[in-house]
Structure 1
């Protein structure tokens, strides 16, 4: 059985591959948010705030700020996937950030200035699933590492 926590030079562990994949998806989503047709009505894409009427894939409310956040989050995932600890941290803390965003989206009035990103119901539910999924990946793909440490400590 292969240990997923040690890797040969140039070989990525599963947690690194997961962080890389998640980062790449966020990068792609950030780019897609700036493409007319995939984001529509594109002429309603605002910089920030709930007034931005553009929807990515016809579902997710986006703005220039929202797209930039996706791009930065994607770049962070790709960069942090270089190390096992960075990949785990990206998935774990990124997942926590998305759960906080989910709660924030549930609590704010969607038509208020507090909805500055902006978020809609589809974004909120996506944030819940992203948060749970990212945390699950971080924990599941590094659980043997913690067990290995406890065995070597005895």
Structure 2
């Protein structure tokens, strides 16, 4: 019996329209055109949708300065909105959902950070930082409660 994983990406924060994205939203083109990532970022293969298309759909508010990409393994990257113009959301390889990086992988080909991709993105959150010019940051969240230290 084959076990299927639930494909779900939540979009929250300082946006006009929050979203709960499914695999079908990506495949149908609802989020924008499909892009072959290999000519853009040769170390990756597969099909992506431009992050700019998602931004058009969710309409970040004027207060939004950064986007936090939360991964299923507690990794997160905080990237200034202006650095995401060329970003892609990789969602498919060989006409199937991703095996590595499921459900989606963020690829930022022209970002300021050494972390130019985030695998296993499950939540995308538009936020306001007090220092709008701040560069991208990344790392693992520490979710260990003080009582377990």
Do they superpose with TM above 0.5? no
Instruction: Choose between structure 1 and 2: higher strand proportion.
Output: 2
Superposition TM-score, scaled by structure 1 size: 0.27
Instruction: Choose between structure 1 and 2: higher helix proportion.
Output: 1
Q: Which has the larger radius of gyration?
A: 1
